[in-house]
Amino acid sequence: MNDVINLLLQHRSIRKFKDVPFSREQREAILSAAQAASTSSNMQAYSVIHITDAALKSQLAELAGQQAYVSECPLFLVWCADLHRYAEAAHRHGDTPITGNAENLIIATVEAALAAQNAAIAAESFGLGVCYIGGLRNKPADVSELLGLPQLVYPVFGMCIGMPDQEPLHRPRLPQEAVYHENRYTANPSAVSAYDETIRAYMHRRTNGKVDTTWSKEMAAKALRPRKHMKAFLSSQGFDME
């Protein structure tokens, strides 16, 4: 073990922030760390939009499902999968069509995620807290219009960053044997059953006994809330996923 591992293990999402500004140096270091992440064939197929405009932040908070911490956090970033820059560059030397096919969607989504995770760790190394905002995909067309996203760019998630003003419990993760396999995928339903009880105990503790649930019950509830609009939205941004 070492300090870096400890930092990674200490991660929890932070949704309440002190009114403490970040420095320009911190912001630039966070973005430099993001840029240092691995990239497929050096495509760097992502963009990050820093929302400095308070009114725009409030609109995004609303679109994300009235998540107040989006407007309240000192630093809010929108991480985008971006094939537009790649297409613009490639077209300087030919007219090979660049499409938002399934592979390109995966590349750009992965690149946004790798860069964002480096940014999250960099922020946490400064003692800041972060929270990913998948809720930007609730109304992705509205978000894209507000941010002026061109074709072949879509918002994957937002990220709140700021000085934590809360000490949330660590939510336990699945037992390692549920996500870890050797040589061959092997489903482990008994590890899921064990985790159900872990989550039950955790939720009891977190809610002073008010909530009785398990992981599998949460997953069944989650299944009732699909974001079915994503295909049509992605198609409108040029991601045909062919």
In angstroms, the CA 158 to CA 48 distance is 9
* Binders in 187-216 for a second copy, by CB under 8 A: 187, 189, 192, 215-216
Closest C-alpha among 94, 162, 103 to residue 130: 162
Least spacing, CB of residue 91 vs a second copy, in Å: 8
* Binders in 13-72 for a second copy, by CB under 8 A: 13, 28-29, 31-33, 35-44, 46-53, 56
CA-based angle 132:135:138, to the nearest 5? 155
Stretch that binds a second copy, among 63-71, 93-101, 160-168, 204-212 (CB under 8 A): 93-101
Least spacing, CB of residue 10 vs a second copy, in Å: 8
In angstroms, the CA 121 to CA 8 distance is 7
Stretch that binds a second copy, among 15-23, 64-72, 160-168, 221-229 (CB under 8 A): 221-229
Helix, strand, or coil (residue 113): helix
Least spacing, CB of residue 118 vs a second copy, in Å: 5
- Angle in degrees, 0-180, between the axes of helices 24-35 and 102-125, rounded to the nearest 10: 140
Closest C-alpha among 110, 33, 38, 28 to residue 75: 28
Q: Binding residues for a second copy, how many (CB under 8 A)?
A: 115
Least spacing, CB of residue 4 vs a second copy, in Å: 4
The tokens describing 165, both together, are 């003003």
* Of positions 93, 167, 169, 208, contacts a second copy by CB under 8 A: 93
In angstroms, the CA 34 to CA 48 distance is 10
228 forms part of the interface with a second copy (CB under 8 A): yes
Amino acid of residue 97? P
Least spacing, CB of residue 192 vs a second copy, in Å: 6
Closest C-alpha among 123, 113, 22, 15 to residue 70: 15
182 forms part of the interface with a second copy (CB under 8 A): yes
* Of positions 75, 86, 128, 129, contacts a second copy by CB under 8 A: 86
* Binders in 119-178 for a second copy, by CB under 8 A: 120-122, 125-126, 130-132, 134, 137, 147-150, 153, 156-157, 171, 173-174, 176, 178
89 forms part of the interface with a second copy (CB under 8 A): yes
DSSP run (H or E) holding 132: strand 129-133
Q: 64 or 122, CB closer to a second copy? A: 122
Least spacing, CB of residue 186 vs a second copy, in Å: 8
Q: Residues 6 or more apart from 163 whose CB is under 8 A from it?
A: 17, 18, 20, 74, 127, 128, 129
